[in-house]
Structure 1
Amino acid sequence: MYEAMATVIGNVVTQPVKRDLTNGEQVVTFRMASNSRRLDPATGEWVDSGTLYLTISCWRRLVAGVDASIRRGDPIIVYGQLRSHEYRTKDGVERRDLEMRASALGPDLSRCTAQPIRRTEAGRSFGPGNLGRNTCDRSSAEDRARVDGEALGEGASPMPAVPARITESASADA
């Protein structure tokens, strides 16, 4: 079996649908479109030069996040494994569909903004107005995190401000 990994940038063109499978797993599927654009040197304007349509399937840990976050029309970036799916329609016509089994998916922040809400192991959410530790699934770094020498816990205080970046004009020896 081949494994062609790719990243595709585009828009969600159908409302994502979450399904429960007979084996107990869940899957979210939707279609996305990625438009290819090029600059026409004669006119100096951007011209559409084709659209790639993909069926995106999200499994396991992606299901909850995609189901709660992604809607039709959203600009997204998807990384995953490309697969060609061949089938026969009810009319007997053979078709081929390109599917991506997503490994990672998120909003395209060059075309929108997003406010992440981290999931916790207990099912609670910590939004931008709440102080809480990052408890995204299987984060071993958080177990070792320290704030002012103390373990990061439920009553943790905010981390100190990040120092200003060194500008290019500043000396590298400083």
Structure 2
Amino acid sequence: MYETHTAVVGTVITNPVKRSTTAGEEVISFRMASNARRFDQATGEWTDGGTLYLSVNCWRRLVDGVAASLMKGDPIVAYGQLRTAEYTTKEGVERSDLEMRASAVGPDLARCVAKLERGQRVPAQNQDEVVEEERPEEELEAVAG
């Protein structure tokens, strides 16, 4: 099996859908589009190039974060392993689709503003482990600006 990892900057074009596999694992999937835009110096305007469409599948810890954070229209950056899925439609037509098994998904902060909600931190179990301290909410807001 090949392993091609890449980052794709684009827009969520379908609302994420959560489902469970027969093995009981949860997965959340959505489609995204990445548009190429180029500045045409001759005309002084931006022109649209081609569009890359792909399905993004998120597993394990990503499921809850994506479910709580993303919806259709959101600008995102997705990073993961690209694969080609080949299938036959109900009409018997052979098709292929580009899929990403995401290992990280987040907002594209060049096109939106996001407020982080950090989860609970688990205290260290022994003296050798380092514990990150929780900052008071006021301090977090001051740091964020």
Q: Structure 1 72/154 Cα, relative in aligned 2: closer, same or farther at 3 Å?
A: closer
For residue 144 of structure 1, what is the aligned residue in structure 2? 130
Query: Which structure has the larger Rg?
Result: 1
Residues 85-125 of structure 1, C-alpha deviation per residue, up to 9 Å, x if partnerless? 000000000000000000000000111011111122xxxxx
TM-score (norm. length: structure 2): 0.85
Question: How far did residue 153 of structure 1 move?
Answer: 6.8
Letter of the structure 1 residue corresponding to residue 107 of structure 2: P
Distance 2:45 2:63 in 1: 39
Letter of the structure 2 residue corresponding to residue 35 of structure 1: N
Letter of the structure 1 residue corresponding to residue 95 of structure 2: R
Distance 1:45 1:21 in 2: 47
Letter of the structure 2 residue corresponding to residue 20 of structure 1: S
Give SS of 1:144's match.
Answer: coil
Letter of the structure 1 residue corresponding to residue 50 of structure 2: G
Structure 1: stretches of 5+ with no match in the other structure: 121-134, 137-142, 147-151, 163-174
Q: Which has the higher contact order (CA 8 A, sep 6+)?
A: 2
For residue 28 of structure 2, what is the aligned residue in structure 1? 28
Please identify which structure carries the higher helix content. 2
Letter of the structure 2 residue corresponding to residue 93 of structure 1: V
Question: How far did residue 41 of structure 1 move?
Answer: 2.1
Structure 2: stretches of 5+ with no match in the other structure: 123-128
Q: How many residues align?
A: 135
Q: Percent identity?
A: 60
Distance 2:32 2:106 in 1: 13
Question: How far did residue 154 of structure 1 move?
Answer: 9.9
For residue 128 of structure 1, what is the aligned residue in structure 2? none
Instruction: Output aligned runs, 1:41-56, within 5 Å.
Output: 41-56=41-56
> RMSD of aligned C-alpha atoms?
2.3
Question: How far did residue 11 of structure 1 move?
Answer: 0.3
